[in-house]
Amino acid sequence: MLKYLGVLSLVFFNFFLAQAKLFYIEVKYPLLGNEAPPGSPWPMPFYMNDTSNNLLYLKKSLFQIKSNMKVDCDIIRENIRHYRNVIFPPKIYSNVTKKSKINLNYLTILNLKISAADVCPKYPDSNMNESYNLTISSNGADLYAESVWGALRGLETFSQLTFFTEDNRLAINDSTVIVDKPRFVYRGLLIDTARHFIPVPILRKQLDAMAYHKLNVFHWHIVDDQSFPLELFKYPNITEKGRYSKAHVYTHKDVKTIIEHARLRGIRVIPEFDSPGHVEAFGRAFPEFLTVCWKDGKPYQPIFSVQGAAEIVNPTNEYVYPVLKEILSEFKNLFVDEYIHLGNDEVYYDCWKSNPDVANWMKKMNFSEYHHLQAYYSSKVLKIVQDLGRKSTVWQDVYDNGVELQKGTQIQIWKDTSILPEHGKWSDYLNNVTRDGYAAILSSPWYINFVSYGYQEWYKFYQVDPFANFSGNDAQAKLLIGGEAALWSEYVDGGNMDSRLWPRLSAIAERLWSPAHVNDPEDAKFRLDEQRCRLLRRGIVAAPVLNGYCGDYEYGMAKSNVFDPVFNYGWPNL
């Protein structure tokens, strides 16, 4: 056992000693931009001074994090514990650290000074204040925040400012001043768990990674055509017939675990129940609610690439709405956020058009266009959510098809010529949606499930500015509340999720947090490479940024499988 610990000590020694280092693709393509110093934060703060070259050192036994909270707040308590584990290496590493024979200036305290010290909010919401100020000097570090959410963001920045020196000591720059706040209030990630089931521990790990990038919304696309993996108490047959297997189900306990973990990281969880399309798994329990597709006068006729034998909710069946109300009521009782995402995307009309019963019903209703049929359905579902005391988010298709929405509805923009040539430009959609008074969330340029070779994809994502070609007035600009990366899981599961998300999503996170003028990808790649190395040390298996190295991480991961579980949640407290 002692011999094994000695091997691990050497592993961690090498693991921490080497700094991130980028190399060129080829000699004829030299690296551009300015190399960042160690301890450079990601995303870049709103303001950060030019720090001195004087260093302060950190030692776990001497360093404290204290808060001025007047009430016991588990959010602060948990994150003090969490970030101590993130900042400091395992004790096993300290066994190989030689005692210093010189006097070092140690930073001994980080004070959390929260204005709302008598308030421990239960859950993050759309109005949470995430701003903070951070100052570091030889007298100590002070983190000022209006709320606990700002304190969490400041703790993350503080952890990133620490780094290992060439002589393998943990240090931070003296005389550092940071004033920080997010550019956009909504900074999200969609994960699709219907096409591939993503295990709960891996979802929790992604929530940690989101917090490392100051992202604050987890959009859970939990069900779709392929599977319905959510446990339902009211209609258990939907889960039983819609799931892949008994093992591929999120129980209510699982969902509450995810929501609780997200809460402690300052992240909202918004569930999506997508309809009237994307409902084949739901329809296995209620086939009578799906539209029967016809061809040549015969029902249940699939046409490859056009329609299935039966698909899309049949809006003319009035019995479907009480069932949807019960399902959405269960969503409301299980998920705590003020918003429920109702989908309503990709409602292709071919099956509706083929069905003679639907055509006859539309004549009785004086509906001349099939988008009127979609509007009928969408209006009913939106009203259900409103009556349940929740607000709705929808994909832009509902708006595009002329559905009149409540003004509190958020519209998520996903269409663009880069996705399908028949679409318009996402900037035009943003202009139109905000012109009509709706809050808009941009996703079109940030579909990170698309993969290509020979191009730094993070670079492309980083160059997107939501306000590029935005022609709206100031009131419209306030309605552009942020953006969201989308990871659809046709070719993603728990095995490759880390490398598909990170550091590509890191680039998007900086676009949504940092000021607009922080936009040079050539400079950013050096900080991004450092961030990628942080992620590796924190258990997130992020893909490389360019050629180069990031310590002996591969040897450590191969030889220290015993540590794999704790890599998911910060440093092991050995």
- pLDDT tens, position by position, 376-428: 999 999 999 999 999 999 999 999 988 889 889 999 999 999 888 899 999 99
DSSP-derived letter for residue 40 is -
Averaged pLDDT, 86-106: 65
| Catalytic pick among 346, 490, 522, 554 | 346
pLDDT of 247 strictly over 60: yes
- The letter for the amino acid at 135 is T
Directed axis angle between helix 356-364 and helix 370-387, to 10°?
80
Would you call 92 helix, strand, or coil by DSSP?
helix
Q: What pLDDT, in 10s, does the model give residues 209-235?
A: 999 999 999 999 999 999 999 999 999
pLDDT tier, 454 (very low <50, low <70, confident <90, very high otherwise): low
Superfamily of domain 47-95+102-180: Chitobiase/beta-hexosaminidase domain 2-like (3.30.379.10)
What pLDDT, on a 0 to 100 scale, did the predictor assign at position 51? 81
Averaged pLDDT, 482-486: 98
- Indicate the domain borders of the chain: 47-95+102-180
Q: What pLDDT, in 10s, does the model give residues 435-446?
A: 999 999 999 999
> C-alpha angle 216/221/225, rounded to 5°?
170
pLDDT of 3 strictly over 90: no
Phi, psi of 411 (to 5 degrees): -115, 125
The structure tokens listed for 292 are: 């029967």
4 class by beta-carbon count within 10 Å (0-12 exposed, 13-18 middle, 19+ buried): exposed
Phi, psi of 210 (to 5 degrees): -60, -45
pLDDT of 560 strictly over 70: no
Averaged pLDDT, 465-492: 96
326 part of the active site: no
